[in-house]
């Protein structure tokens, strides 16, 4: 986990340095919308949008994993309950 965090911080630093060195005025065009801005803001905005998308996608995955964990814990409790209800078998 720390490795992924380190990679994320490194990418953030690289994007920041890139955007600070490229301050030219640009016009972003998307589906008929026009937005005059600087290249630095466009890069930072794209990085932030990507981060939000990844975060939202991870929430779905985390929810699925939690549901699977709850189901496995339920099966484990059921198995433990059945084992304690079963009469003890004589040992040979």
- The torsion angles phi and psi of 38, rounded to 5 degrees, stand at -100, 155
Give the contacts of 74 (CB within 8 A, at least 6 positions apart). Answer: none
For residues 58 and 56, give the distance between their C-alpha atoms in angstroms, rounded to a whole number: 5
- Residue 28's DSSP bridge partners are 35
What is the model's pLDDT at position 85?
82
Question: pLDDT tens, position by position, for the chain (92 residues)?
Answer: 788 889 988 988 888 888 788 888 889 888 988 989 888 888 888 888 988 998 998 999 999 999 999 999 999 999 888 888 877 676 76
What is the model's pLDDT at position 64?
92
Give the contacts of 27 (CB within 8 A, at least 6 positions apart). Answer: 34, 35, 36, 37
What is the model's pLDDT at position 88?
66
């Amino acid at each position: 986990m720390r490795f992924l965090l380190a990679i994320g911080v490194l990418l953030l630093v690289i994007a920041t340095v890139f955007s600070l060195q490229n301050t030219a005025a640009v016009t972003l065009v998307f589906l008929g919308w026009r937005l005059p801005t600087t290249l630095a803001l466009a890069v930072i905005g794209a990085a932030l949008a990507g981060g939000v998308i990844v975060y939202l996608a991870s929430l779905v995955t985390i929810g699925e994993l939690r549901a699977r964990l709850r189901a496995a814990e339920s099966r484990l409790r059921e198995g433990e309950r059945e084992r304690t209800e079963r009469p003890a078998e004589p040992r040979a």
